[in-house]
């Protein structure tokens, strides 16, 4: 059945039999768990907004495979216009949810595997691309959530996959059979895995011939036998268990991460998209990273919310007209728009791969993500500066609601007279959520490490900088002859 509405999506999750663990206990009903509901709501928003005529252009597209209307999170980028719309959609969704909405990794994985599998087939005569198109058709037809899985635990990072003392620290093929393969290992930091229907696996680093068993890409259902999910902790996560909606900061939406173990998982032949082709691993990794780095335009949308919350906190305590406060808000805006401009730029400079799918400009994509690793932290610092210490010393909602001590909080944390103390509490908790709480995973830490930590971008920037060309330009202007 095709998923169209929020209710359809939630019903589809109820049918999954996930092997999910949290706080030492197996979770039989993740759909209704208070810690997981906000992250489910964020994904549900990608279905709701696709049905909203105001956002239909950014949220839906015509499939290049069938011509049918599909959700853009299942779409193969077929033009620079598609790439630009992705960036604009990322910002809009960040504004609507103020969190990670979890479908981006799968979207970018779809595009990386689509173009790479095509080129593997061209060189080797394999059928990986046909396999992938069959998988993608089902994803598009049923409007499924795909979880892109790239990051391995990696163990001793000074060693290649085949050199690890424990060979399972990178996901690998442990058995090849006529009808498929058996894989073992793990993928870490899996964003939105509990809210996903399918896992699309890719290698995590470029590999040599001795790493052949690790050069594997495939798709399996999230409830396939042998898949074990262990939810990651987040700062302030148990606040969601307390009831109320102030202390969480963002009670409607959120995200989650998990360690996903593949304990001898069987993958049928028709779901394999790479199996030992080490010379194409670098291409797949680079194309995924290239797509995923400007996807962090979502942080611009979240930044819009954080800037708005910071401006409100200044209004509520009577400092909005102070020149240094206004200047800091301008600086936050400048940093936020700089991220957005580089995300748009790398999309406008996109190019067509042999498969027909479009790839972004790698240099500008890496500049975009490098900006994200810095500027979100500066924006968060300025938000904390303006919000003040009360953001982290505020009494709990239970205290505020208490008939005996609540009036003290209401009296002594009043700001400007025409604003209720509760409104001031709510905006401070939102700022706390985005800079220090569960929302900080999606805004700060994810900005640093998602799609590669800063050094990963610097390596690509150095490789593409073309210093020899720049030297020749300088020599021509200066009149220097070799």
| CB 119 within 8 Å of CB 352 | no
Domain stops at, among 272, 289, 306 = 289
Same structural domain, 246 and 304: no
Rounded CA gap, 467 and 86, in Å?
31
Q: Are residues 336 and 194 in the same domain?
A: no
Question: Measuring CA to CA, how many Å separate 361 from each of 81, 167, 301, 344?
Answer: 14, 35, 22, 10
**331 within domain boundaries:** yes
Are residues 128 and 269 both part of a single domain?
yes
Q: What number of H helices and E strands is found in the chain?
A: 18, 14
3-state secondary structure of 320: coil
Partnered with residue 183 across adjacent β-strands are: 173, 265
Q: Are 298 and 104 in contact (CB under 8 A)?
A: yes
pLDDT tens digits along 347-381: 999 999 999 999 999 999 999 999 999 999 999 99
Write b or e for each residue in 408-435: b if 16 or more Cβ atoms lie within 10 A of its Cβ, otherwise e: ebeeebebeeebebeebbbbbbbbbbbb
- Residue 1's pLDDT band, with cuts at 50, 70 and 90, is low
Please report which confidence band the pLDDT of residue 235 belongs to, taking 50, 70 and 90 as the band edges.
Answer: very high
In this prediction the pTM is 0.97
* Structural contact between residues 184 and 174, judged by C-beta atoms closer than 8 angstroms: yes
The CATH number of whichever domain residue 402 belongs to comes to 1.20.140.10
What is the rounded distance in angstroms from the CA atom of residue 80 to the CA atom of residue 57? 15
Does residue 132 carry a pLDDT above 90?
A: yes
* Domain co-membership, 262 together with 337: no
Write down the pLDDT at residue 482: 85
- Ramachandran assignment for 155, one of left (phi > 0), alpha (psi -120 to 50 degrees), beta (any other): left
Q: Cα(81)–Cα(103) distance, rounded to whole angstroms?
A: 20
The answer on 359 and 255 residing in a single domain is no
Would you tell me the crossing angle of helices 80-97 and 37-48 to the nearest 10 degrees? 130
The residues annotated as belonging to the active site are 100, 104, 191, 257, 292, 296, 298, 446
409-425 pLDDT tens trace: 999 999 999 999 999 99
165 and 243, same domain (yes or no): yes
Final residue in a domain of this structure, among 254, 289, 324:
289
Nearest alpha-carbon partner for 218 in 262, 283, 178: 262
Q: How many domains does the chain have?
A: 2
- Asked if residue 15 is part of any domain, the answer here is yes
- Residue 421 lies inside a defined structural domain of this protein: yes
Q: Answer yes or no: do 366 and 277 share one domain.
A: no
35 has a pLDDT exceeding 90:
yes
1, part of any domain: no
Q: Given 259, 289, 319, which residue is the final one in a domain?
A: 289
**Of 394, 392, 426, whose CA–CA distance to 413 is shortest?**
394
Say whether both 238 and 353 belong to one domain: no
On the question of pLDDT at 86 being above 70, the answer is yes
Same-domain check for residues 225 and 319: no
Q: Residue 171: inside a domain, yes or no?
A: yes
Q: How confident is the model at residue 323 (pLDDT cuts 50, 70, 90)?
A: very high
Residues 83 and 159 in one domain: yes
Percentage of residues of the chain with pLDDT beyond 90? 100
Q: Residue 109 maps to which CATH number? A: 2.40.110.10
For residues 143 and 199, what is the distance between their CA atoms, to the nearest angstrom? Answer: 14
- What would the pLDDT profile of 429-461 be if each residue is shown by its tens digit? 999 999 999 999 999 999 999 999 999 999 999
Domain range for 390: 294-478
The mean pLDDT value of the chain amounts to 97
- Whether 338 maps to a domain, the answer reads yes
Together in a domain, 41 and 173: yes
Beta strands in 204-298 (DSSP E): 216-221, 227-231, 258-268, 272-275
Same domain, 311 and 285: no
Q: Give the pLDDT of residue 478.
A: 98
């Amino acid at each position: 059945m095709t998923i169209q509405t929020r209710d359809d999506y939630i019903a589809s999750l109820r049918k999954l039999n996930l092997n999910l663990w949290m706080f030492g206990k197996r979770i039989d009903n993740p759909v209704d768990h208070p810690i997981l509901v906000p992250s489910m709501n964020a994904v549900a928003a990608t279905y709701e907004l696709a049905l909203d005529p105001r956002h239909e252009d950014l949220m839906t597209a015509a499939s290049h495979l069938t011509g049918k209307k599909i959700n853009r999170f299942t779409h193969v980028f077929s033009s620079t216009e598609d790439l630009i719309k992705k960036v604009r959609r990322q910002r809009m969704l960040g504004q609507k949810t103020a969190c990670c909405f979890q479908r981006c990794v799968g979207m970018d994985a779809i595009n990386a595997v689509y173009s790479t599998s095509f080129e593997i087939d061209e060189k080797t005569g394999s059928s990986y691309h046909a396999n992938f198109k069959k998988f993608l058709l089902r994803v598009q037809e049923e409007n499924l959530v795909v979880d892109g899985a790239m990051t391995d635990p990696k163990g001793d990072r000074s060693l290649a996959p085949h050199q690890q003392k424990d060979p399972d620290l990178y996901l690998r093929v442990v058995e090849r059979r006529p009808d498929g393969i058996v894989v073992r290992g793990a993928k870490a930091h899996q964003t939105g895995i509990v809210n996903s229907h399918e896992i699309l696996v890719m290698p995590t680093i470029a590999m040599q011939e001795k790493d052949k068993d690790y050069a594997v890409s495939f798709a399996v259902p999230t409830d396939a036998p042998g898949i074990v999910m262990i939810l990651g902790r987040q700062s302030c996560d148990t606040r969601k268990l307390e009831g109320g909606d102030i202390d969480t900061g963002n009670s409607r939406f959120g995200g989650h991460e998990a360690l996903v173990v593949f304990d001898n998982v069987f993958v049928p032949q028709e779901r394999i998209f790479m199996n030992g082709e080490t010379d194409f691993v670098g291409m797949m990794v680079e194309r995924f990273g290239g797509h995923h780095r400007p996807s962090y335009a979502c942080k611009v949308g979240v930044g819009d919310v954080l800037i708005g919350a910071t401006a409100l906190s200044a209004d509520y305590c009577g400092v909005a007209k102070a020149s240094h406060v206004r200047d800091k808000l301008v600086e936050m805006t400048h940093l936020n728009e700089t991220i957005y401009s580089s995300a748009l730029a790398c999309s406008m400079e996109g190019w067509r791969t042999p498969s027909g799918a479009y790839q972004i400009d790698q240099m500008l994509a890496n500049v975009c993500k490098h900006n994200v690793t810095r500027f979100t932290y500066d924006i968060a610092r300025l938000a904390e500066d303006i919000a003040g210490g009360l953001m982290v010393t505020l009494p709990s909602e239970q205290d505020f609601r208490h008939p005996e001590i609540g009036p003290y909080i209401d009296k002594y944390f009043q700001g400007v007279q025409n604003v209720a103390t509760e409104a001031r509490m709510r905006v401070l908790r939102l700022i706390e959520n985005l800079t220090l709480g569960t929302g900080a995973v999606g805004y700060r830490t994810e900005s640093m490490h998602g799609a590669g930590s800063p050094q990963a971008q610097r390596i690509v920037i150095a490789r593409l900088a073309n210093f020899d060309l720049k030297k020749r330009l300088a020599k021509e202007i200066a009149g220097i002859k070799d």
